[in-house]
Structure 1
């Protein structure tokens, strides 16, 4: 039953298929969706990353067209997560996104992307400092789109201004930032200081965030305000090799981690949601109930979807506690 499966709010590709290619075919997309279903995923947000606005719009339009061609594709793709182009241009914070296309937010350009997505945009990730008057944030929220901070070095005041305008989520906490930052005044600490107002996406592959740090983040933010994303690229479900992401080619080593050629940053993940769930059990010590909330319940609640009870419930209670925050996911 699809509702008993994982729900992934950030996925760039799967099983050899890159979702940021201009010429993705119906057959390739169907193959990726079939692989996701096989791997116990019940729904995803296809993530379109920073590029020229016209190319981003064309990719969104293509997905809208392909989604209508097959019931499995339609069932699997619940909508879009538009990550960029209104993100930081600073080294480290821009991550794997092409810096030449990162820019300050413009409602005219955002509206082009929304129109191309034909009402299927569910999340937009932007850097609060790239929306200085919070106009784009307010307009997106008014249209029912979740606004997430990500690939950002927003000051605490810039973060608060966007929160007041309706920002409610933080994209892949602990990533989209440099390896070396101020030990205290950094974007991770700023975001966690607002854990009573934000929901946090986390990548549980052990490479993006060490498991001990992941456990710390879960304890601070609370299970009810966090969720797991794969941030998978086309290498997910495959093995070591060279894989596409937009105009880039990404090398996945024997350790299964996609890295930049100079090892300066990671480029998405090659880890399935199944593996991430097992990581949470083995390396973070979570119970089946907690894992279910992070990988199935919380993502669906954020999307406003009904969440039927799981098929199996664990009775262990020795995992990470729920933290100080009540269940406040929409």
Structure 2
């Protein structure tokens, strides 16, 4: 199967979209490569950094998208993940704590302006100051809003859903290893799965398969969205690869480890491999996988398939 629509790609094949050195040619080259490998459309993802840095990086991706009709077809928009996310350890994930900030319409508009109308998806934490107002502001412009990197309460999640939030980003990740055994953000989000699309990283590392099966019993089939959350080491195979100012070790199972192998440094598994793994471990049929990787993400961000 091919034609996947991946809503979260930070980089691929040695190219990091969050690098200040990335070129338009490198971005468009990765778009062509991903298309050849089955991912027909994806959202380049820019993560938390100082606002001016994010503006510069979003602008570079927008320039790449506007460089050709092919690039625009391959990259129908941009995913901005942050900087309006939790600063709590664990929930902040690999994002720099120092660059997280409250959500304001002014800051959001600066990020949107850098994207020149191409920002399609924004991930923020519903509990940060101003989240509901910014969510409403984005939803009124038909920009999809996701919760993520968050320890939002049930009331905060409900308030942001009422404001227009439609997705929760990579459930089971962007949270601490130790949390309350019952009242935690995973269970809160699952309790609202009827009202939210939920994206999942299906590499078997970010969410173990037995937990994935539990999640999928709760999430309506029409709300499941599979993302790779790929980093620049994806597509390079096992070995040591450079990621910003650190080395990432990708093992034989394509788990990407940070230095010391104590935590994941992102995802190095591509969509084709995820498809094989979901068939093997979940027994998912082709029609189901098509919904999770093509139809649901397309509908969520307003694409036709």
| Smaller-chain TM-score bracket | over 0.9
In structure 2, the residue matched to 1:164 is 162
Q: 1:261 to 1:33 in 2, by over 3 A?
A: same
Task: Find the partner of 2:96 among 70, 75, 98.
Answer: 98
Query: Deviation at 1:52?
Result: 0.6
Do residues 196 (structure 1) and 189 (structure 2) align? no
235 and 133 in structure 1: CA distance in 2 versus 1, 3 angstrom threshold: closer
Partner residue in 1 for 2:273? 275
Indicate the SS of the match to 2:20. Answer: coil
> In structure 1, how many angstroms separate the alpha carbons of the residues matched to 2:67 and 2:50?
27
Q: Which residue of 1 aligns with 2:304?
A: 306
Q: Is the 8 A contact 2:121 2:301 kept in 1?
A: no
Task: Quickly say closer, same or farther: Cα 1:114–1:231, change in 2 above 3 A.
Answer: same
Alignment partner of 1:235 out of 233, 236, 240:
233
Partner of 2:65: 67
Alignment counterpart, residue 207 of structure 2, candidates 206, 209, 215: 209
Q: Distance in 2 between matches of 1:65 and 1:270?
A: 26
Give yes or no for contact 1:21–1:245 (8 Å, CA) kept in 2.
no
Give 1:253 shift: 3.3
CA distance in 1, matches of 2:258, 2:160: 31
Work out the CA distance in 2 between the residues paired with 1:245 and 1:110: 27
Separation in 2, partners of 1:264, 1:86:
26
What runs of 5+ residues in structure 1 fail to find an aligned partner?
308-330
Matched, 1:151 2:149: yes
Matches within 5 A, 1:80-119: 80-119=78-117
Change (3 A) 1:264 1:159: farther
- Match of 2:32? 34
Structure 1 residues 98 and 244, CA gap change in structure 2 (3 angstroms): farther
Q: Which residue of 1 aligns with 2:74?
A: 76
CA shift in 2, pair 1:186/1:264, >3 Å: farther
CA-based RMSD of the aligned residues comes to 1.7
Distance across 2 between alignment mates of 1:306 and 1:118: 22
- Which ranges in structure 2 are unaligned for 5 or more consecutive residues? none
Instruction: Compute the TM-score of the two structures, normalised by the length of structure 2.
Output: 0.95
- Alpha carbons of 1:20 and 1:176: their partners in 2 closer, same or farther (altered >3 Å)? same
Quote the Cα distance in structure 2 between the aligned partners of 1:45 and 1:61.
14
Measured against aligned partners, the alpha-carbon deviations of 1:58-87 in whole angstroms (never above 9, x if no partner) come to 111111112222333222111011000011
Quote the Cα distance in structure 2 between the aligned partners of 1:20 and 1:232.
12
Correspondences of 1:257-272 after superposition (within 5 Å): 257-272=255-270
- With over 3 angstroms needed to count, the CA separation of the structure-2 counterparts of 1:273 and 1:31, relative to structure 1, is same
SS of 2:146 mapped into structure 1 = strand
Structure 1 segment 1-40 matched on structure 2, within 5 A = 5-40=3-38
Quote the Cα distance in structure 1 between the aligned partners of 2:126 and 2:226: 22
